[in-house]
Amino acid sequence: MIQLLKKYSIDCDTNAHFCDKIQYNEATPKEIAQYKMHVFICKLCKTHSALNTELSKACSRARLTTMPKTAKDDLKAKLEKEMNN
């Protein structure tokens, strides 16, 4: 059991990386399991992951949008033309 835990244990940097991947649903099941195991024993990572998750929630709650790329390109062209006149 201890050997199994050692085999799947990760350091805090790797855990932070997995935590980021989880926010974007890009972590593998193995990474999620390793992350959960690490967060269970590491208080520092638990705090970091809570804040990281809160940031994701805040971003979705704020309903952020960006201007479409085509509109940005059009606008850039228009501004450039105006600046050259």
Where along the sequence are the contacts to other proteins (CB under 8 A)? Answer: 16-17, 20-21, 23-24, 26, 51-52, 54-56, 58-59, 61-68, 71-72, 75-76, 78-80, 82-83
**Three-state DSSP state, 25:** coil
Instruction: Kindly state the smallest distance separating residue 3's Cβ from other proteins, in Å.
Output: 29
Q: Rounded distance, CA 60 to CA 54, Å?
A: 10
Instruction: Give the Å distances, CA to CA, from 45 to 29, 37, 39.
Output: 19, 11, 6
Instruction: Kindly state the smallest distance separating residue 16's Cβ from other proteins, in Å.
Output: 6
**Which residue, 3 or 25, has its beta carbon nearer to other proteins?**
25
